Amino acid sequence: MPLTLATQAPGEAEIFASVQGEGPSAGAPVAFLRLSRCNLACVWCDTAYTWHFEGDERPHRGDTTFERKANQLTLDEKDVAERIAALGQKRLVITGGEPLLQGPALARMLDHLPDIAVEIETNGTTKAPPRLDVRIDQFNVSPKLAHSGNPADLALIAERLDAYATDSRAVFKFVVASEEDVSEAAALVRRHAIPPARVFLMPEGTDSATLRAREAWLVPLCLEHGFRLSDRLHIHLFGDTRGT
């Protein structure tokens, strides 16, 4: 079964090398694989081209829908692995969309990349099947808070958050736009006994000015709660563009 990928341009898979922009691996050289499709719909999502296709009536602040044919591509698992290997990186970041929706196909793809370290971005609503789970070195779990626009019963599944909280491979990255968002994140951290040292607060924003303004008030809140601050390095370097 092939993998369904996002595109950098029509017909061009979003597989590229860059530095990781977020979380504990920020600044590290990596290969990126961006998959298509998501089970949630964040109103501020900056990769809506992976899921907000024509006919999808879920709200998004950009009010733009994307043509599926131009923004989605299917490739054989071995082909995807060969393209990743050609980038010559030792670490792979798999992102989306929600990558774990394609867990079995990802596991088969990684069979062709036995020596690469794997970091996966997930919204924390699902889990990796065993064959994929054994290949994951780091889970970047980003639970979606109320300001994402997702109903809590879809976005915040207690059983899954409890499981990730007890998995030492998992770090938690909360996207925040207000102090109220930080309070909501802190309540989730307490409820699910997530170690604060594995929690990152990351400002929502797709331009440097917005990120800097929000980081100014995030710093004292990180100090108060014992959380870590995550910037969005790729936004400062490349802007809000695909393939970066």
* Residues forming a β-bridge with 66: 53
Q: Which residues, 6+ apart, have CB-to-CB distance to 187 below 8 Å?
A: none
Residue 113 Cα distances to 87, 106, 150, 199, angstroms = 12, 11, 35, 29
Specify the pTM: 0.97
Tens digit of pLDDT at every position of the chain (244 positions): 799 999 999 999 999 999 999 999 999 999 999 999 999 999 999 999 999 999 999 999 988 999 999 999 999 999 999 999 999 999 999 999 999 999 999 999 999 999 999 999 999 999 999 999 999 999 999 999 999 999 999 999 999 999 999 999 999 999 999 999 999 999 999 999 999 999 999 999 999 999 999 999 999 999 999 999 999 999 999 999 999 9
Q: CA 152 to CA 148: how far, in whole Å? A: 10
Residue 132: inside a domain: yes
Residue 44: inside a domain: yes
What amino acid occupies position 30?
A: V
Cα torsion 233, 99, 169, 211 to 10°: value is 20
Q: What is the pLDDT of residue 5?
A: 98
In degrees, to the nearest 5, what angle opens at C-alpha 19 toward C-alphas 225 and 160? 45
Residue 162: inside a domain: yes
Domain CATH code at residue 123 = 3.20.20
Q: CA 142 to CA 46: how far, in whole Å? A: 14
Residue 30: inside a domain: yes
Residue 192: inside a domain: no
Instruction: Copy the structure tokens of residue 138.
Output: 């780091």
Q: What is the pLDDT of residue 1?
A: 74
Q: Which domain holds residue 104?
A: 3-172
Whether cis (ω within 30° of 0) applies to the bond prior to 62 is no
Residue 238: inside a domain: no
Q: What is the pLDDT of residue 62?
A: 86
Q: CB of 38 within 8 A of CB of 97?
A: yes
Number of structural domains found in the chain:
1
What amino acid occupies position 158?
A: A
Residue 46: inside a domain: yes
Residue 224: inside a domain: no
